[in-house]
């Protein structure tokens, strides 16, 4: 899901699963089983820690981790993480969905998957001049995201990121930017926030910097020039970045 360092709070509300925070023994070493009364489906200690991480991530962030997230958290290789996940799935504790980066469903003891509440928001394309931003003709499609990913209130929409102007903030081409529509830029936006600005019908993500006589829309890539807005320019700050949703192929 956004900007790193000072902007990392835009990714989710606080991402608590830092690289190397999880503790797991050497992948090659065997570990004892827990809950041995479960017989063949009992997990090893390593597998149990992997499953606990998947559950905690799903509860706190709103969706399951990727293989890369798991590998990073436990400081193991992606292959080791993948092998652990397959072992946990084989024992029936999770279900894997082919072709999906976050295709992990948690299965309870009765064999049923645990549903995550979802919210459907519009994915906008080019925005027609003179039309309300969320007018039907501006909507390319709709996407479903976990409700825990969203603020408690506000009109939400999404944009597909184009180009590399924000890559130093951890935002890359084809990411899905999840945004909250704003009504008053002076109240709802502060310096350093990442915003969506509407320029000639095209939305662009930039870092908002208010200066004495103008506003700077700053790219997070030295290969791009900032956009300076004065009172004479027809530019609208329309939304604030809430998070980034990304699929891994």
The C-alpha atoms of residue 220 and residue 218 are separated, in whole angstroms, by 7
Q: Which of the pair, 3 or 241, is modelled with greater confidence?
A: 241
199 vs 109, more confident: 199
What is the pLDDT, as a whole number, of residue 230?
85
171 exposure class (CB count in 10 Å sphere: 0-12, 13-18, 19+): buried
Task: Please tell me which residue in 46, 72, 165, 180 is annotated as part of the active site.
Answer: 165
Q: Does the active-site annotation cover 18? A: no
The per-residue pLDDT for 97 is 72
- Location of structure tokens 């700050």: 237
| Sign of the CA dihedral running 44, 46, 47, 52 | positive
Q: What's the confidence (pLDDT) of residue 13?
A: 40
Q: Starting at the earlier edge strand, list the strands of the sheet with 194-199.
A: 139-146, 118-124, 156-160, 176-181, 235-245, 194-199, 202-210, 215-218, 227-229
Q: Is the four-CA dihedral 26, 28, 30, 33 of positive or negative sign?
A: positive
pLDDT given at position 63? 74
Specify whether the CB–CB gap between 234 and 183 falls below 8 A: no
Between CA 197 and CA 151 the distance in angstroms is: 20
46 is catalytic: no
- Could you give the domains of the chain? 16-106 (1.10.10.10), 118-245 (2.10.109.10)
Q: Identify which of 36, 42, 162 has the alpha carbon closest to the alpha carbon of residue 92.
A: 42
Distance in angstroms (rounded) separating the CA atoms of residues 165 and 219: 5
Alpha carbon 192 to chain centroid, angstroms: 19
Percent of the chain with pLDDT over 90: 18
In this prediction the pTM is 0.54
Task: Tell me what pLDDT residue 5 has.
Answer: 34
Of residues 98 and 45, more confidence is placed in 45
Q: Are 16 and 71 in contact (CB under 8 A)?
A: no
Mean pLDDT, all residues of the chain: 77
Out of 71-75, 132-136, 195-199, pick the least confident. 132-136
Catalytic residue among 206, 212, 231, 236: 206
Asked if residues 141 and 125 have their Cβ atoms less than 8 Å apart, the reply is no
- For residue 178, pLDDT over 80 is answered with yes
- The average pLDDT across 209-234 equals 89
């Amino acid at each position: 899901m956004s900007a790193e360092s000072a902007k990392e709070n835009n990714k989710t509300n606080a991402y608590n699963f830092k690289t190397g925070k999880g503790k797991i023994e050497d992948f090659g070493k065997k570990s004892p089983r827990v809950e041995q009364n479960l017989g063949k489906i009992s997990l090893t200690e390593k597998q149990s820690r992997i499953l606990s991480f998947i559950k905690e991530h799903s509860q706190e962030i709103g969706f399951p981790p990727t293989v890369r997230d798991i590998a990073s958290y436990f400081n193991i290789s992606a292959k080791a993480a993948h092998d652990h996940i397959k072992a946990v799935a084989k024992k029936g504790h999770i279900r894997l969905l082919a072709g999906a980066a976050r295709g992990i469903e948690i299965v309870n003891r009765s064999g049923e998957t645990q549903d995550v509440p979802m919210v459907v928001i519009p994915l906008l394309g080019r925005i027609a001049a003179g039309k309300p931003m969320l007018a039907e003709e501006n909507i390319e499609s709709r996407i479903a995201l976990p409700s825990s990913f969203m603020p408690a209130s506000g009109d939400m929409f999404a944009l597909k990121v184009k180009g590399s102007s924000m890559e130093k903030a951890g935002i890359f081409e084809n990411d899905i930017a999840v945004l909250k529509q704003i009504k008053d830029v002076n109240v709802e936006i502060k310096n350093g926030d990442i915003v969506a600005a509407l320029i000639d019908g095209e939305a662009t993500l930039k870092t908002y910097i208010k200066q004495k006589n103008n506003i700077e829309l700053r790219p997070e890539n030295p290969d791009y020039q900032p956009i300076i807005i004065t009172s004479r320019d027809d530019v609208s700050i329309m939304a604030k970045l809430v998070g980034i949703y990304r699929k891994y192929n």
